[in-house]
Amino acid sequence: MPSGRLLRRLDVGDGTVDALALSEKNRYLYADVDGRTLTSWDTRTGTLRWRSDGSGGSGLAVDSDGRWVATLSGDGTVWLWDARTGDRLADTALPAPDFSWSGTGGTGVQSRLAFSPDGKHLWSTTEDSTSPPNAA
């Protein structure tokens, strides 16, 4: 925030926040906690809206209208969530690259997710992947 003032503190218990994403339109904050739990917070009040198990821990994206949340697990599974309810709606597997700079291949910290501006497409990118972009 421009003021530098702390506005809200989100209590995730003893957990560690692996990723954060903010919906531009509704100002809800989504957090991946310990790579296992996806949470949604109201930034205006600081209250927890919902909590869902099975987030994945390797990536997190939310569309600008706050309709969809996508998470990525280390094995390349992408889950699509209803951002309003926390319900898991669908999943797909990303194509794994044959090579990564770490020499291990697969997905993980070198992979990223992003929604198109209209929220109709989910894009992924993975280091040194020769596969075409994966749209969900």
Q: What are phi and psi of 112, to 5 degrees?
A: -135, 150
Rounded Cα–Cα distance for residues 76 and 16 (Å): 21
Six token digits for residue 81: 């969530």
Q: What is the pLDDT of residue 86?
A: 95
- Residue 95 pLDDT: 72
Residue-level pLDDT at 129: 44
| Residues in CB range of 25: below 8 A, 6 or more apart | 64, 65, 66
Second-level CATH architecture of 17-126: 7 Propeller (2.130)
Q: What's the confidence (pLDDT) of residue 89?
A: 95
The amino acid that residue 55 corresponds to is S
- Nearby residues of 5 by Cβ (< 8 Å), 6 or more positions away: none
pTM confidence score = 0.78
Instruction: Return averaged pLDDT per consecutive 10 residues of the chain, 136 residues in all.
Output: 72 85 88 92 91 86 92 87 95 70 50 88 72 50
Amino acid at 64: S
